[in-house]
Amino acid sequence: MGIFKRISNMIKSKTNATLDELENPIELLDQKIRDMENSLGEAKRSSAQIFGNLKETEKKMEETKNDSQQYDEKVRLAMSKGNEELAKKALKLKLESDKKYLALKESFESQKEKAAILKSKLQELEKELDNTRSYRDEAVARLHNAEASTKINEVMANVQSKNNSINIDDIERKIARKESYADGLEELKGKSLDDEFAELEELSLDEELAKYKNNDKKVDNKEKDCIDLELEKYKENK
């Protein structure tokens, strides 16, 4: 399983398991990044040596080529002067330079091809490292979101559990029983002395009020009789 797929699966599983039961995916990614950085650094150091050797071989090729050209000129000069023996010596050195140049060129082409492959690999490794760093940032965000979602779901599940639910009907029944019990105690409670005196006072007040009402009624009847007598007098005078 690839590192990215493994970490992705671990992050997804955070919603279904406690954090302590799993590897820390971010630590796993950080370790992966450190390993890649170390590998890249080592590869660059090795590559620097290879590229350095390539430059050195190229420089030797140029020097050998120049030597061959110089020996070629000496051969021509010796031949123009009629010194064939000297011309042979210069020609021998020229041929040795040409042979050396061909060997260097063959080595250079081989090193150059390997260096090109190595450079491509380094670029791929750098790209993979950049992608891993980017994925690490994304994974952190996803992990935090998964942890937050898990916590929210746990809280919601706890809030919505039967242990936290309230049965209004049960509460109403309990309150009604308490009220009925209180009413029953009120009925059983006897009247105190103060209560009895209060009732007597209330009765006396009612009697006095009735007397006032009767007196007012007698006055009204008397006034009505007087008015009727006076009215009869007016009728007789007509």
The amino acid occupying position 33 is I
Name the residue with higher pLDDT: 226 or 105. 105
Examine residue 171 and state whether it is found in any structural domain, yes or no: no
Same domain? For 140 and 185 the reply is no
Same domain? For 104 and 210 the reply is no
Name the residue with higher pLDDT: 85 or 196. 85
Q: What is the mean pLDDT of residues 127-146?
A: 88
Name the residue with higher pLDDT: 146 or 22. 146
Domain of residue 186 covers: 179-215
Same domain? For 42 and 115 the reply is yes
At 34, the pLDDT band (50, 70, 90 cuts) reads very high
Examine residue 13 and state whether it is found in any structural domain, yes or no: no
Residue 238 DSSP class:
-
Domain boundary among 102, 132, 164: 164
Same domain? For 37 and 153 the reply is yes
Same domain? For 120 and 28 the reply is yes
Examine residue 17 and state whether it is found in any structural domain, yes or no: no
Structurally, the chain folds into a number of domains equal to: 2
Q: What is the CATH number of the domain that holds 91?
A: 1.10.287
Q: Which of 7, 5, 3, 2 is nearest to 139 (CA)?
A: 7
Q: What is the mean pLDDT of residues 45-50?
A: 85
Examine residue 236 and state whether it is found in any structural domain, yes or no: no
The predicted pLDDT at position 142 comes to 86
Examine residue 14 and state whether it is found in any structural domain, yes or no: no
Q: 155-190 burial string, b = 16+ CB within 10 Å, else e? A: eeeeeeeeeeeeeeeeeeeeeeeeeeeeeeeeeeee
User: Can you read off the two tokens belonging to residue 3?
Assistant: 């590192």
